[in-house]
Structure 1
Amino acid sequence: MFEDRCMLKKTLIPLALLALTNSAVASPFDDLAQVEVLPGWRAANGDHIAGLRITLAPGWKTYWRAPGDAGIPPVFSFNGSQNISAIAPHWPTPDVFDSAGMQTIGYHDSVVFPLTVHSNDPSTPMQISGRIDIGVCEEICIPVSLDFDALLPASGTRDSAITAALVDRPMTQAEAGIGHVVCSVDLIEGGLGVTAIFDLAPLGGTEVVVVESGDANIWVSQSRIERRGTQIRASVDMVHHTDDSFGLDRSDITITVLNGQRAVEIHGCAAS
């Protein structure tokens, strides 16, 4: 099973890594969410731009790739697809929710996940098939499995919903005017304490900083944020699920600053 936690790096996903296990079964609560393939269009370079639209029941929400302790991150599977070599999902800027005093991050009402699809033969149609496993929450959280299957035509026309979701992305480090980013690492009981330090003009409102390790086996706490003028210091604890002693590659760290409307995403940081 592939758990997609850091795909805004636009890393290509080999299809062999995206298959869910045969033990996955449909949820009796599938009516809480529906999935639709937006067939999209073929780009000039031969890639296909498609989308998965998730529509939620009124009052329900679903989650981002780093959803917080009370959320369930989406898991994509594209097993069964034909004439497709790799797929790169993209993540629109999420909202920040307060759930019974716990911070969660995700989407309400609906969300479109754009997909960049790479073909074995761009001159012929592609068949995209698979499943997305998500958590949907209102008063309670329920795991839901949604199957999809659609033909991606060799031509197609631009889709406004996909285009809007692609535009609704976090700013890059360069776009936000962020220069040097430092991550200090200290030993703590059972893991590592990591503090990211960088300069960023205030986004406005309440800012949330999410730190991702790049390793699905490492739990990362909610960040403790200190802002002094343009400088942000965001500290988290990192604990490995199985190993008290583990290495951390700073180049794999992703730092996202959110304020509920805008976002900035930073990839990698330096020791000093």
Structure 2
Amino acid sequence: MAKALRTLIAGPTRRAVCAGLAAAGTVGLRAARAEPGGGVSDWWEADHVRVRLIDAGPSPKQHGVRLAGIEIDLDPMYLTYWRSPGDAGVAPVAAFEGSTNVKDGKILFPAPGRFSEDGAEALGYKGGVVFPLEVTPAEPAKPVSLVLTLSFALCERQCLPAQAKCKLMLTGDGQSPEAGLVRDALARVPAPAGVGGAGPLRILSVEGDAGQDHLTVLARTTSNDIPMLFAEAPDPWFVQAGAGLWLNDGSLKYTVNVLARPQDPAPLPVRLTLVGVETAIEVPVTLDAPPPKP
């Protein structure tokens, strides 16, 4: 490769990581053997977890891009984290150093769940997840050898950091049974949307400015179930969304608490992810800085 590739899925949360993470040690590593093809890599395996790469063939939407997936298979009671892990957790980080003919690798995130860990909120996936990958070759006509180093955490009563290593040639047509796992995961990735957009799941408005301690989000769904709202903001901001409440007009009200902010007044860029039963959307919003004090 002309230069080392490293994709930050999400950095560790600014707030507390899981209890026992530093003291627990790292899950034992086993090097994965490279496979010449077949659509999947060998499993990298350790206590309570295994990881592999999946070749999902050429992208149907982007010419010259190949689809792949990182499958994390966990014991039933264990979870791993989303790009924003919540109060407690460590988000995964993927690196592709050692790959051949890889110009770029983009990781997509299926909609997460919300879990409680000793009173702290954790955002992620229980039992396992497939992270879709969009891999752009440097030379589309040549083979792609994808080498993955995945640093992540798995948690049950305590959290264990782990580092998985997998390698796979991306040469398939995407018709293997395992490729279907990647397509299923892609269908659960929140679709980009704007405030006030159309569809069965909508964010109607975001009220407040960057100087307030909370924001009010109004949403609407065609389902009888209350969607989950997730809120993210870059450091040093820290925001957290609460549960939705039905209003008399059939819309939903959410409160997003601003728990940390920069010392000086600044705009607040926040990413809102609204997750329903069958669909999910992702809405970026930038809230104005508060007006200067007289």
> TM-score range with shorter-chain normalisation?
0.7 to 0.9
Residue number among 244, 248, 270 corresponding to 2:263 in the alignment? 244
Cα distance change of structure 1 residues 40 and 246 upon mapping to structure 2, 3 Å threshold? farther
Task: Report the counterpart of residue 218 of structure 2 in structure 1.
Answer: 198
The two structures, once aligned, show a CA RMSD in angstroms of 3.0
Q: Are the aligned partners of 2:112 and 2:123 in contact in 1 as well (CA < 8 Å)?
A: yes
Aligned equivalent of 1:164: 184
Q: Which runs of 5+ in 1 are unaligned?
A: 7-24
Distance change (3 Å), C-alpha of 1:160 and 1:224: closer
Taking structure 2 as the reference length, the TM-score comes to 0.71
Q: Which residue of 2 aligns with 1:222?
A: 240
Q: How far apart are the structure 2 equivalents of 1:68 and 1:2?
A: 20
The aligned amino acid for 1:56 is L
* Secondary structure of 1:200 counterpart: strand
> Structure 1 residues 206, 198: closer, same or farther in 2, change over 3 A?
closer
Q: Between 113-122 and 40-49, report the one with greater CA deviation.
A: 40-49
Q: Please, which of 103, 114, 123 is the counterpart of residue 96 of structure 1?
A: 114
Q: Shift of residue 113 of structure 1?
A: 0.6
Counterpart CA distance in 1 for 2:51 and 2:244 is: 39
1:74 is aligned, of 85, 88, 92, to 92
Q: In the aligned structure 2, how far is the partner of 1:139 from the partner of 1:26?
A: 15
C-alpha deviation, 1:116, in angstroms: 0.7
Q: Which residue of 2 aligns with 1:140?
A: 158
Map of 1:1-272 to 2, 5 A cutoff? 3-5=8-10, 27-28=27-28, 30-43=46-59, 45-153=63-171, 155-158=172-175, 159-173=179-193, 174=197, 175-176=199-200, 178=202, 180-187=204-211, 193-201=213-221, 203-205=223-225, 207-213=227-233, 215=234, 217-225=235-243, 227=245, 228=247, 229-240=250-261, 243-245=262-264, 247-250=266-269, 253-258=270-275, 263-269=280-286
Structure 2 contact 74–128 (Cα < 8 Å) conserved = yes
Q: Among the aligned pairs, what percent are the same residue?
A: 22
SS of aligned partner of 1:134: strand
Residue segments in structure 2 that go unaligned for 5+ positions in a row: 1-5, 12-24, 30-45, 289-294
The whole-number CA distance in structure 2 between the counterparts of 1:91 and 1:115 is: 9
Relative distance call for 1:46 and 1:262 in structure 2 (3 A) is: closer
The residue type paired with residue 237 of structure 1 is V
Is residue 204–residue 259 contact of structure 1 (8 Å, CA) maintained in 2?
no
Larger radius of gyration: 2
CA contact (8 A) 1:181 1:269 kept: no
Equivalences, count: 243
Relative to structure 1, the CA distance from residue 204 to residue 137 in structure 2 (aligned partners, 3 Å threshold; closer, same or farther) is: farther
Give the whole-Å Cα distance in 2 for the aligned partners of 1:177 and 1:260: 10
